[in-house]
Amino acid sequence: MNQYKNLGTKYIHAGVEPDPSTGAIMTPIYQTSTFVQAAPGVHKGYEYARSQNPTRFALETAFAAIENAKYGLAFSSGVAATDAVMRLLIPGDEVICAHDMYGGTYRLFSKVYEKMGIVFHYVDTSNVENVAAAITEKTKLIWIETPTNPLMNITDIEAVSSIGKKHNCIVCVDNTFASPYLQNPLDQGATIVMHSATKYLGGHSDVIQGCLMMNEESLREQLYFIQKSTGAVPGPQDCFLVLRGIKTLHVRMQRHCENGEKVAHYLQQHPKVAKVYWCGLEEHPNHSIAKKQMRGFGGMISFTLVNDSMEAATKVLSSTKIFSLAESLGGVESLINHPASMTHASIPRERRIANGLSDGLIRLSVGIEDIEDIIADLAQAIG
């Protein structure tokens, strides 16, 4: 499964075999709901497409390979993948999670699973002592995201994973922001990796999808059972698109990293910019951990203006021409976002501010356009 050592070769070839019936080099889109059986129970491994689909299986093999995992599972969205992990729990179980994670994850935990009797402890996981302190004998899951969205806080995956191991709980890492090109949490001891494949894996802002990767067979069995029983599977066309996206992940990520670095340094010296959040900067509080566990620092950057107000931010947000004002990230095109009113609007304001996410914070997903155009656009928008 993981026969390719170098990342680029792996991304292009993982999971992709020429179609056995025609030799087609690209995995066909098996747009079918069911598969004909020669006699009851006599089939080619495919019965019904919620449980098995060849396009999805090819993608799931690629998912496993890109995270150095034994198993991969595809879901109809990132939150559906998160939801599948939550279904491993029963009422009374406790979860430790980051206080500044993705807004949709927070909404799922606090609005759907809290009322089903799951108990959440929201802590600053960038200080691992907070994680150790929140552990009880009921803790079943530690959920971390690193870098976090949108403040780019870094959590030490290895340290949290060893706490998880000691207390026999699952450590799941939302690896969406880093992508497998920059970081592989299973290699650092995590139990499950989750991605919103909507972002860097798909890479072209044309698909919603999620995935889970893991090494333990029993966990794969449980999660596969949940996948087919609850039915949040992606269609074959979407699987094809993500398979295609993965083939260029390394080339896109190289450029996202290069552009990200230039934009971070540009913003840092700008007189109207107060603070830049990018884990590649020496002065980032967790830079040394980022350096230890990541191969590069990516193209996700947040910043505040000296005039840290909704009004000043709004002016920048509505003046960019190359950066489009939109939620989401990780596509080839640059996007600009206002977390307080967009991606993180579901987090109560007091909680948001307490966590350091101000009304004026601006988040960039730096794309892979030419850097001169990207900088010129920011220059005219910030003024």
Ligand X SMILES: *Cc1c(COP(=O)(O)O)cnc(C)c1O
Applying CB under 6 A, which residues contact ligand X?
Answer: 77-79, 102, 104-105, 145, 149, 174, 176-177, 196, 198-199, 208, 210
CA dist 323 and 18 (Å) reads: 39
Q: Which amino acid is at 210?
A: G
**Cα 376 from chain centroid (whole Å):** 29
Q: Which is nearer to ligand X, 257 or 300 (CB)?
A: 300
Task: Indicate the residue among 210 and 280 with the shorter CB distance to ligand X.
Answer: 210
Helix (H) or strand (E) holding 207: none
Which C-beta is closer to ligand X: that of 63 or that of 102?
102
Of 174, 238, 359, 377, the catalytic one is 174
Q: Which is nearer to ligand X, 176 or 305 (CB)?
A: 176
Residue nearest ligand X by beta-carbon distance: 78
Choice among 10, 71, 181, 199 that is catalytic: 199
Q: How far is the CB of 17 from ligand X (least distance, A)?
A: 27
Q: Which amino acid, one-letter code, is at 378?
A: L
Q: For residue 239, give Cα distances in angstroms to 56, 193, 223, 250, 361.
A: 6, 18, 18, 19, 34
Q: How far is the CB of 149 from ligand X (least distance, A)?
A: 5
User: Least distance from C-beta 153 to ligand X, angstroms?
Assistant: 12
- Choose the catalytic residue: 50, 70, 244, 291: 50
Distance in Å, CB of 213 to ligand X, minimum: 15
Q: Which of 94, 142, 149, 83 is nearest to 352 (CA)?
A: 149
Considering the complex, state which of residue 105 and residue 161 has its C-beta at the smaller distance from ligand X: 105
102 catalytically annotated: yes
Catalytic residue selected from 30, 102, 106, 122 = 102
Least distance CB 221 / ligand X (angstroms): 24
DSSP assignment string, 320-363? -SSSEE-S---SSS-EEE-TTTTTTTTS-HHHHHHTT--TT-EE
Q: At closest approach, how far in Å is the CB of 383 from ligand X?
A: 29
In the bound state with ligand X, the residue whose beta carbon lies nearer, of 162 and 230, is 230
Instruction: Determine the 3-state secondary structure of 174 from DSSP.
Output: strand
Strands 362-365 and 300-305: antiparallel
Query: E strands along 240-340, which residues?
Result: 273-277, 300-305, 324-325, 335-337
Q: Cβ neighbours of residue 75 under 8 Å, at least 6 residues apart?
A: 81, 84, 209, 210, 211, 212, 227, 232, 233, 234
Q: Residue 85: helix, strand or coil by DSSP? A: helix
Minimum CB distance to ligand X smaller for 198 or for 205: 198
- Residues contacting residue 247 through CB under 8 Å, at least 6 positions apart: 11, 12
CA atoms within 13 A on the CB side of 380: 11
- DSSP annotation of 196 reads E
State the residue for tokens 């999670």: 97
Compute the least distance from the CB of residue 330 to ligand X, in Å. Answer: 8
Among all residues, which ones are annotated catalytic? 50, 102, 174, 199
